[in-house]
Amino acid sequence: MRIKKSLYSTLLLFTFTVILVSKVDQACAIPVVDQDQSFFQDSINADPSFFTWQQGVTAGLDGLLTGIDLHVAVPGSVELFLNRGPAWQFDSYDYQAVVTTSQFGWTHVDVTTAGINLNIGDQFVIGLQGIDGGASFDINTDALSPNTDEYIPGALWINTGQTPSLLRTGGDDLAFRTYIDSDALSSTVPEPATVVLLGIGLVGLAWAAVRRRLIMVRKEEV
């Protein structure tokens, strides 16, 4: 009787482990688009090293900032940076990396490692620092289409080595998208592969335990 109860407990553990592993995809939530300014009809020159651009962004979701999309007008290289707070930001960057693009159109930059957790209403900037890399990026501008500010929560700023200022009338914005993982915290996000391997290991251990119990039951019956 004791062996059968033990076998039942082991089978229950095995079932629970399988269910747990089946939920891995849910635990590793897929980031969703938060801010989306996809309209464009002009571009900015992000090539010269004395050009710095900052696009103000306001978060619409709580969670970890995981990615940025930019629309490439001319492929090349640029330094991308992120900084918390409204534009213009003068302090040290919260994240920076050289991004090299080889194709026109949308390009995605994974910024998960920046560890930037946001709450609804938090402001930050997407920055582009020229490095003489030849890159240009698409923007929306109400200079070409008056009263078409497609992104009200922020605006595009420029600094050419003097005083930072809004680009033209303040109705210009980068073509960009931001991605948020609402289920993640920067300090506790495991790599998906690590979670999967852990789950596989648990299933393996549970199944080994089930096999041992089955062998014990068969020996007892004999």
Question: pLDDT tens digit string along 90-102?
Answer: 999 999 999 999 9
| Helix, strand, or coil (residue 127) | strand
Same domain for 16 and 41, yes or no, is no
Confidence of residue 141 (pLDDT cuts 50, 70, 90): confident
Cα torsion for 90, 95, 101, 104, to the nearest 10°?
-70
The answer, as to whether pTM is greater than 0.85, is: no
Residue 10 to residue 218: CA distance in whole angstroms:
16
- Report the run of H or E that residue 68 belongs to, with start and end: strand 63-74
110/89 Cα distance (integer angstroms): 22
| Whether residues 80 and 139 fall in one domain | yes
Q: Is there a single domain that holds both residue 156 and residue 175?
A: yes
User: How far apart are alpha carbons 219 and 209 in whole angstroms?
Assistant: 16
Residues 52 and 145 in one domain: yes
Domain that holds residue 107: 32-181
pLDDT, mean of residues 179-189: 73
Question: Are 6 and 43 in a shared domain?
Answer: no
Count structural domains, the chain: 2
Based on the domain organization, do 80 and 161 belong to the same domain?
A: yes
Same domain for 133 and 44: yes
